[in-house]
């Protein structure tokens, strides 16, 4: 079996497991699958979904309900999923980007 076929097989197995509502241990026992192999592939495939391949840039779609330009004394609140981030004038842009990327990766 080629590496591609093996990957596809495990993607299928994980897709069957996710809606089962069972623990990984119980599901693997029922399916006759080695739990350690299951955890390996689960981790490997999850890791590959989070990382863009070949240095690709992935863009995060942001929906804005309204745009309000804050005065110099006000903070701007940015919401990503359930997280709310308050940004004031003079904020650290690099840190802000890292926080938004972390939130985006937490909810693929």
Shortest CA distance to 10 belongs to which of 30, 28, 25?
Answer: 28
Asked if pLDDT for residue 26 goes beyond 90, the answer is yes
As a whole number, mean pLDDT of residues 60-80 equals 70
pTM: 0.44
As a whole number, mean pLDDT of residues 82-92 equals 81
Measured distance between the N- and C-terminal CA atoms of the chain, rounded to whole angstroms: 29
């Amino acid at each position: 079996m080629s590496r591609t076929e093996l990957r596809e097989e495990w993607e299928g197995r994980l897709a069957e497991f996710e809606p089962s509502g069972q623990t990984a241990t119980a599901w693997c026992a029922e399916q006759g699958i080695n739990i350690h192999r299951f955890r390996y592939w689960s981790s490997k495939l999850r890791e590959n979904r989070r990382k863009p391949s070949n240095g690709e840039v992935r863009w995060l779609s942001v929906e804005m309900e309204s745009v309000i330009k804050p005065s110099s004394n006000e903070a701007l609140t940015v919401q990503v999923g359930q997280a709310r981030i308050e940004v004031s004038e003079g904020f650290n842009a690099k840190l802000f980007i890292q926080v938004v990327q972390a939130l985006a990766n937490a909810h693929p």
